[in-house]
């Protein structure tokens, strides 16, 4: 190694390293960056990381962590300045792959809430669909404006030791994280400007414009200049920073439920000039809370009457309610079939092999091989409730087995995928070490328009060997460069 | 037969309500057996009602308060023509043909809403054996008539023991309840036996001495192959006829609640309603 920064970088040849070959040869897309880093010492890197940290605090970029004991601890999202670089060709495959998935997911949602052909053709099991917690009868026999359900989707991808990308899950409800992509980039440009300027990196800053254009494209029929708003649950939500960030950057109002009301099936925003009609709502409030007349009557976060206004076509909600039926982890296992059924195509990005505990033979396999598997509840996100067989105690495994047997529909299992690793600067050891990463790609679907954010969010597991990259599990992030 | 029905609901709040929105699902529907000839809804807030059709196609009346209030009453007056349809054609299909349809996958998909359990109608497995199940050589109509009797006998009609949140598992030990509880339990058992069943709300002829006639009543409809949806009233141990005026149906009580409200207030409230049904 020419640069001293990586002289003591240790490589585990069994895992795919994004920046180095197993023989510690720099991968081609990183060569220029390594060349630049020759002039840096560990002290420089330490300083830069510290600047980055301060910059995040000053911008107020924080998130809350939920767990059993505490409610709402505010944290900054740990950031590592060494960027992840994705070559253009590789990115094009990702982009095609996530678009293909999202098109299929939209057709699936339209079908399951209307004709239900995929059930009648026995491609997708009826019982599985109707037992989905997020299958929403209030979406039945109704098609949203523009026939779009998942306007914003976050697809979580990993690269396995075979060097191929796999989809880990689709986040079709209210995926978050996109603000970090833009904030990470801002920070990188500020503190690493000359390195950045010597690479041709695809921009991420058009995302708010693309999101606004997506909103406008699905406005109710006959509305030329739609009023768009972002509906947040409020300052105590873990992603409030993101809600504020997106509203600000789109130039639209950030509202809470109490700022809106429904009159005669039209939605209005209270303003100092009187009520103003609202046409499109990017809602970051969960289905259960959006309308107390229809869903949870105790919700103070929603708007009474919103669902009937929506079903009348007078307002567009994005994402549509009931999209959770498509990101149920048991439904995920059918995504390759769903793609073939609606698009007649082979999936461009693979699914991770998944065992459904509700099937007898698969349950047997899971119970016998639990140390080799990751067990996930089908209805939770953010890494909550997950058991990684190899990193668990016997007691934890036995408890999990009991939970599975108690509610088989609730659990799926996957082989422990070896997530790729990336050089990441570690404070405690003052050197670069391999850390596992994944990638959340953000896709926007509007009326006759689609967009994939070039880069997405690279999440980093911050302790050695840890496979959990979720921010709520103490993960960090990196800027993600797609080369142009 | 013609009915004159008046429904009067009264809500009183001890503290002023600053913001309120209410939905009433009380207007009888039009169907093969009944026709609403005239109807009128008045509210004490003098707000202009807004009407829309819910996901099952029933007309909902929404009242939005434009100023603070401490009292809301709503009065509906409606005239309904009612005729009776015989249910003998329910027995036209032979038993095997009925079973074949109930087991048909496409049929199950189309009826899924009325075959799924809901929080109200989910009966734990340990309680299944308490009720008869549909036998392979039994006509579903005969089975349902038998089940109607079983459910009727299971309960002792007792007001104020259960409330609108009571679930079927709670009823097993209580063995007491009102029309809503009878309906939920029979729906639960019918669905366990793969017979589509839906919750129905409506009014009863008050001249017959039926249980539950003083207020809005609840019963259920089951899908009998060949005959279609047939009404059963386990509370009164009857099949529905011209004495039953249907308002709405849904998966369970939640879809048929006569009144729903979202209000900003604190403190106590009193809610009540009266029903007068005149047969002419």
Q: How would DSSP label each residue in chain B? A: -EEEEEEEEEEEEEEEESEEEEEE--SPPPBTTEEEEEEEEEETT-PPPEEEE-TTS-EEEEEE-SS-EEEEEEEEEEEEEE-----GGGGSS-HHHHHHHHT-HHHHHHTGGGTS--TTT---GGGGGGS----TTS-HHHHHHHHHHHHHHH-EE-TTSS-TT--HHHHHHH-EE-HHHHHHHHHHHHHHTT--EEEEEEEE-GGG--TTTTS-EEEEEEEETTTEEEEEETTTTEE--TTEEEEEEESSHHHH-SEEEEEE--S-EEEEEEEEEEE-
**Which numeric CATH code is attached to B88-255?**
3.10.620.30
Report how far residue A420's alpha carbon sits from residue A14's, in angstroms, rounded to the nearest whole number: 10
Distances, alpha carbon A432 to alpha carbons A163, A418, A422, A424, A477, in Å: 22, 20, 9, 5, 15
Cβ within 8 Å, pair B52-A122: no
Report how far residue A10's alpha carbon sits from residue A29's, in angstroms, rounded to the nearest whole number: 20
- From the number of C-beta atoms within 10 Å of its C-beta (0-12, 13-18, 19+), residue B216 rates as buried
Alpha helices in A60-132 (DSSP H): 88-112, 117-120, 126-130
Least confident of A26-30, A128-132, A348-352: A128-132
Nearest to B55 among A116, A137, A293 (CB): A137
Mean pLDDT computed over A123-148: 94
Report how far residue A430's alpha carbon sits from residue A425's, in angstroms, rounded to the nearest whole number: 7
pLDDT of residue B69: 94
Q: How confident is the model at residue B280 (pLDDT cuts 50, 70, 90)?
A: confident
The interface predicted TM-score of the complex, written ipTM, equals: 0.94
**pLDDT for A64 beyond 70:** no
Mean pLDDT computed over A154-175: 92
A384 touches chain B (CB under 8 A): no
> Residue A305's Cα: distance from chain center in Å?
29
Q: A130 contacts in B (CB within 8 Å)? A: 112, 116
Residue pointed to by tokens 């539950």: B212
Mean pLDDT computed over A255-281: 97
Residue pointed to by tokens 């590592």: A80
Residue pointed to by tokens 């009242």: B63
Q: Within 10 A of A208 (CB to CB), how many other CB atoms are there?
A: 19
Q: A263 contacts in B (CB within 8 Å)? A: 50, 64
Q: B112 contacts in A (CB within 8 Å)? A: 126, 130
Sheet holding B259-264, edge to edge: B50-53, B59-64, B19-24, B259-264
Per the CB < 8 A criterion, the answer to whether B195 and B133 are in contact is no
Residue of B21, B47, B105, B263 for testing the chain A interface, max A β-carbons within 10 Å? B21
Cβ within 8 Å, pair B262-A304: yes
Per the CB < 8 A criterion, the answer to whether B279 and B207 are in contact is yes
Mean pLDDT computed over A72-96: 86
Strand, coil or helix: A302: coil
**Cis before residue A319, ω within 30 degrees of 0?**
yes
**pLDDT for A382 beyond 80:** no
Report how far residue A403's alpha carbon sits from residue A314's, in angstroms, rounded to the nearest whole number: 44
Q: How confident is the model at residue B88 (pLDDT cuts 50, 70, 90)?
A: low
Shortest Cα distance, chain B CAs vs residue A145, angstroms? 18
Strand, coil or helix: A145: helix
Nearest to B55 among A116, A140, A261 (CB): A140
Report how far residue B21's alpha carbon sits from residue A92's, in angstroms, rounded to the nearest whole number: 51
Q: Within 10 A of B130 (CB to CB), how many other CB atoms are there?
A: 12
The pLDDT tens digits of the residues spanning A461-483 come to: 877 777 766 656 667 899 999 99
**A153: β partners:** A443
Q: Which residues contact B118 (CB under 8 A, 6 or more apart)?
A: B251, B252, B254
pLDDT of residue B171: 94
Report how far residue A103's alpha carbon sits from residue A155's, in angstroms, rounded to the nearest whole number: 13
Q: Are strands A476-482 and A79-86 parallel, antiparallel or unpaired?
A: parallel
A265 touches chain B (CB under 8 A): yes
**pLDDT for B89 beyond 70:** no
Q: Identify which of A56-65, A90-99, A370-379 has the greatest average pLDDT.
A: A90-99
First to last CA, chain B: 7
Q: Within 10 A of A130 (CB to CB), how many other CB atoms are there?
A: 18
Residue of B109, B124, B256 for testing the chain A interface, max A β-carbons within 10 Å? B109
Mean pLDDT computed over A137-146: 97
The pLDDT tens digits of the residues spanning B220-246 come to: 999 999 999 999 999 999 999 999 999
Domain B2-82+257-279 fold is Immunoglobulin-like (2.60.40)
Write the DSSP assignment of A17-50 as a string of letters: BSSB-TT-PBPGGGHHHHHHHTT--HHHHHHHHH
Cβ within 8 Å, pair A120-B105: yes
- From the number of C-beta atoms within 10 Å of its C-beta (0-12, 13-18, 19+), residue A469 rates as buried
Q: Set out the domains of chain A in order of their start, with CATH numbers.
A: 93-160+205-343 (3.40.50.11290), 354-415 (3.30.1490.270)
Write the DSSP assignment of B107-136 as a string of letters: HHHHTGGGTS--TTT---GGGGGGS----T
Report how far residue A186's alpha carbon sits from residue A176's, in angstroms, rounded to the nearest whole number: 18
Nearest to A305 among B21, B55, B108 (CB): B21
Report how far residue A372's alpha carbon sits from residue B177's, in angstroms, rounded to the nearest whole number: 51
Per the CB < 8 A criterion, the answer to whether B271 and B259 are in contact is yes
Q: Within 10 A of B187 (CB to CB), how many other CB atoms are there?
A: 33
Nearest partner of A355 among A339, A383, A337, A378, judged by Cα: A378
Per the CB < 8 A criterion, the answer to whether B26 and B39 are in contact is no
Q: Within 10 A of A156 (CB to CB), how many other CB atoms are there?
A: 22
B266 touches chain A (CB under 8 A): no
pLDDT of residue A2: 42
Shortest Cα distance, chain A CAs vs residue B14, angstroms? 20
Q: Which of residues 269-298 of A touch B (CB under 8 A)?
A: 292-293, 297
pLDDT of residue B19: 86
pLDDT of residue B86: 62
Report how far residue A412's alpha carbon sits from residue A332's, in angstroms, rounded to the nearest whole number: 10
Q: Where are the domains of chain B?
A: 2-82+257-279, 88-255
Shortest Cα distance, chain B CAs vs residue A292, angstroms? 7
**pLDDT for B257 beyond 80:** yes
Per the CB < 8 A criterion, the answer to whether A303 and A252 are in contact is no
Distances, alpha carbon B221 to alpha carbons B86, B141, B184, B214, B251, in Å: 15, 12, 11, 21, 11
Report how far residue A380's alpha carbon sits from residue B1's, in angstroms, rounded to the nearest whole number: 55
pLDDT of residue B91: 66
**pLDDT for A176 beyond 70:** yes
Name the percent of chain A lying above pLDDT 90: 67
> Residue A54's Cα: distance from chain center in Å?
25
Half-sphere exposure of B191 (CA within 13 A, CB side): 26
The pLDDT tens digits of the residues spanning B163-216 come to: 989 999 999 999 999 999 999 999 999 999 999 999 999 999 999 999 989 999
Kind plus residue range of the DSSP H or E element containing A212: helix A207-217
The pLDDT tens digits of the residues spanning B45-86 come to: 999 999 999 999 999 999 999 999 999 999 999 999 998 766
Q: Within 10 A of A327 (CB to CB), how many other CB atoms are there?
A: 25
Mean pLDDT computed over A280-293: 96
Cα Rg for chain B, rounded, in angstroms?
19
pLDDT of residue A484: 85
Cβ within 8 Å, pair B52-A265: yes
Q: What is the mean pLDDT of chain A?
A: 90
Sheet holding B238-239, edge to edge: B238-239, B228-233, B217-224, B197-204, B244-250
The pLDDT tens digits of the residues spanning B4-49 come to: 999 999 999 999 998 899 999 999 999 989 999 999 999 999 999 9
Q: B113 contacts in A (CB within 8 Å)? A: 137, 140
Nearest to A126 among B52, B60, B108 (CB): B108
Residue of A293, A306, A406, A409 for testing the chain B interface, max B β-carbons within 10 Å? A293
Strand, coil or helix: A103: helix
Report how far residue B9's alpha carbon sits from residue A481's, in angstroms, rounded to the nearest whole number: 64
């Amino acid at each position: 190694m020419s640069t001293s920064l990586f002289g003591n970088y240790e490589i585990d040849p069994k895992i795919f390293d994004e920046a180095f070959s197993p023989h510690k040869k720099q991968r081609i897309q990183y060569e220029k960056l390594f060349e630049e880093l020759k002039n840096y010492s560990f002290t420089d890197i330490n300083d830069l990381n510290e600047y980055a940290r301060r910059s995040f605090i000053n911008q107020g970029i924080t998130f809350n962590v939920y767990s059993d004991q505490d409610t709402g601890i505010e944290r900054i999202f740990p950031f590592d300045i060494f960027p992840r670089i994705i070559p253009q060709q590789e990115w094009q495959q990702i982009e095609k792959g996530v678009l293909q998935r999202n098109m299929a997911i939209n057709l699936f949602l339209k079908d399951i809430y209307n004709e239900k052909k995929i059930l009648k053709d026995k491609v997708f099991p009826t019982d599985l669909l109707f037992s989905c917690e997020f299958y929403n009868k209030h979406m039945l026999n109704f098609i949203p404006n523009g026939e779009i359900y998942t306007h914003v989707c976050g697809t979580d991808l990993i690269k396995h030791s075979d060097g191929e990308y796999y989809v880990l899950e689709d986040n079709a409800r209210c995926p978050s994280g996109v603000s970090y992509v833009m904030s990470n980039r801002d920070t990188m440009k500020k503190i690493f400007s000359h390195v950045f300027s010597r690479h041709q990196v695809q921009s991420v800053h058009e995302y708010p414009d693309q999101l606004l254009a997506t909103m406008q494209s699905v406005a109710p029929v006959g509305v030329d200049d739609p009023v768009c708003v972002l509906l947040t649950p409020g300052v105590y939500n873990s992603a409030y920073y993101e809600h504020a960030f997106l509203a600000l950057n789109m130039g639209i109002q950030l509202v809470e439920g109490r700022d809106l009301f429904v009159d005669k099936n039209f939605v209005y925003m209270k303003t100092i000039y009187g009520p103003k009609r609202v046409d499109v709502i990017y809602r970051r409030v969960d289905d259960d809370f959006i309308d107390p007349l229809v869903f949870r009557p105790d919700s103070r976060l929603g708007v009474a009457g919103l669902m009937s206004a929506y079903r009348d076509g007078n307002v567009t909600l994005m994402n549509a309610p009931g999209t959770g039926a498509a990101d149920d982890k048991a439904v995920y296992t059918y995504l390759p079939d769903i793609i073939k059924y609606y698009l007649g195509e082979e999936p461009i990005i693979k699914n991770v092999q998944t065992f459904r505990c509700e099937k007898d033979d698969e349950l047997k396999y899971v119970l016998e091989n639990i140390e080799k598997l990751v067990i996930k509840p089908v209805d939770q996100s953010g890494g909550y409730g997950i058991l990684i067989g190899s990193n668990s105690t016997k007691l934890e495994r036995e408890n999990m087995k009991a939970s599975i047997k108690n509610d088989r529909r609730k659990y799926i299992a996957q082989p422990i995928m070896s997530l790729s690793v990336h050089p990441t600067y570690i404070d405690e050891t003052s050197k670069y070490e391999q850390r596992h990463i994944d990638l959340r790609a953000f896709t926007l679907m509007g009326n006759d328009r689609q967009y994939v954010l070039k880069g997405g969010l690279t999440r980093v597991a911050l302790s050695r060997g840890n496979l959990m990259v979720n921010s709520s599990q103490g993960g960090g992030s990196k800027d993600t460069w797609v080369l142009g | 037969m013609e009915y004159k029905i008046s429904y009067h609901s009264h809500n009183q709040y001890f503290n002023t309500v600053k913001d309120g929105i209410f939905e009433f699902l009380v207007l009888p529907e039009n169907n093969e057996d009944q026709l609403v000839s005239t109807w009128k809804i008045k509210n004490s807030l003098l707000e202009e009602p807004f009407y829309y059709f819910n996901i099952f196609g029933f007309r909902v009346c929404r009242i939005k308060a434009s100023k603070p209030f401490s009292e809301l009453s709503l009065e509906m007056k409606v005239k309904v023509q009612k005729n009776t349809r015989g249910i003998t054609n329910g027995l036209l299909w032979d038993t095997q043909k009925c079973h074949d349809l109930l087991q048909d996958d496409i049929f199950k998909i189309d009826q899924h809403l009325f075959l799924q359990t809901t929080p109200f109608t989910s009966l734990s497995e340990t309680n299944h054996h308490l009720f008869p199940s549909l036998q392979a050589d039994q006509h579903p109509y005969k089975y349902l008539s038998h089940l109607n009797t079983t459910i009727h006998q299971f309960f002792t009609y007792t007001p104020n023991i259960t409330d609108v949140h009571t679930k079927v598992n709670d009823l097993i030990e209580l063995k007491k309840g009102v029309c809503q509880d009878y309906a939920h339990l029979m729906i639960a058992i019918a669905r366990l036996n793969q017979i589509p069943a839906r919750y129905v709300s409506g009014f009863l002829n008050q001249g017959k001495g039926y249980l539950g006639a003083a207020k809005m009543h609840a019963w259920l409809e089951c899908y009998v192959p060949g005959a279609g949806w047939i009404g059963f009233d386990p509370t009164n141990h009857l099949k529905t006829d011209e004495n039953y005026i249907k308002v709405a149906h849904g998966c369970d009580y939640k879809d048929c609640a006569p009144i729903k409200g979202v209000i900003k207030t604190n403190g106590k409230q009193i809610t009540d309603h009266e029903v007068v049904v005149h047969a002419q």
